[in-house]
Each structure stands twice: as structure tokens, then as C-alpha cells.
Amino acid sequence: MTALITRLARDAAAPIGQMGERLLKMATLLFVAMCCLFFASVFLTIALYTFIQTFEGTAIAALGVGALYVGVGLICIILALRSSAPPGSAASVAAAPVETDEKRPEPSPEFATNIDGTIAPILDILRDGGFERERLAVEAGATIAKQLNPFSVVAFATVAGFMLGRVLGRRDPPGDAAA
């Protein structure tokens, strides 16, 4: 049972790791782009403006320098927003976590008692409402949670929340099907 949960958690955490890696790359590229735009505007504007002004005049010099900076900035932003490695590629497979056989500490009995006390009112409501399948699902989830330590339960709930959010985010609104 623990191997199944470990595998599910590892498989569910892989998209989160890939998303974090893409966000880090994008933030780095945006930071470099902003630094380049800032330093370029400070050091080159005066020199370029003065150089062009001697040949073409003040207005053309200002337009030329502005257009150059807008072009460089747009190129950097486009590069930052482009996704680098699609899921399933060699780069994303190489970044997969390595499985270890290290022994996890057993959860405390107080933790299991706390779980039982927390879900008891929920089970009573489900039993009174006639939701037998839902009651069994909650009991199964509590049994799994008792086998994990508190940190693993929080991590598992977070991963499950991300997965549920992605599934709910992909659904089309009911009004779109009729249109």
C-alpha cells in the first residue's frame, strides 16, 4: 500500500516539478531581459542619440533609439514566454525523482486518533444521509492517512488538490456545449 501511495505521489508531483522548472527559467529570462533593457537604456541612449542627432536631427534620433529598445525588449519577452521542454521529452524524463528505499518513521497513535475524531462527524452525516459509497470512500481515505505521517498527508492533499484543480480547469462550461 505504501509503494502504491509513493508511486502515486511521485507521478502526481512530476508535473509540479516541471511547472516549477519552467517558472524558474521564465523568471530568469525576464530578469535578464529587464536588466538588459535598463542598462542599455542608461549607457547607450545618450551615445546613440548624440550620434544619430548629428546626421538626422533630434526627432529621428529619438525614434530610432526607442524602436531599437522596444525590439530588444519584445524579443526577450517572447523568448521568456516560450515553453522550452514539452512534457515527456528527454529533458523532463531526466528530471524525474529517483526512488529510494529509506525507512519512513511510523506515525504516532495520537495522529491516528486525531484523524478518527475529525472524520467521525462526517461519517455520521454521510450514514444518516444514505451516502454509503461516499462514507466508504472517506473511511478508505482515513485508513490511508493513518498509515502516513502528518507531513505526507499534507503533501498528498496538496498534490491531490493540484490534480483536482487541473481536472476541473479543463472542463468546458455547460453553456459552451449548446453553442
In tens, the pLDDT along 58-104 reads 888 888 878 887 888 888 888 888 866 555 555 444 445 545 545 55
pLDDT at 55: 85
Query: Domain range for residue 65?
Result: 2-94
d(CA 36, CA 122): 57
More confident residue, 71 or 176: 71
d(CA 46, CA 48): 6
Domain assignment of residue 59, yes or no: yes
Residues 86 and 113 in one domain: no
Domain assignment of residue 103, yes or no: no
pLDDT at 8: 66
- Burial per residue of 49-63, b for 16 or more beta-carbon CB atoms within 10 angstroms, e otherwise: beebbeeeeeeebee
In tens, the pLDDT along 103-148 reads 555 656 676 777 778 888 888 888 888 888 888 888 887 887 777 7
More confident residue, 111 or 23: 23
Q: What is the mean pLDDT of residues 147-173?
A: 71
d(CA 32, CA 44): 17
Residues 123 and 76 in one domain: no
Residues 57 and 82 in one domain: yes
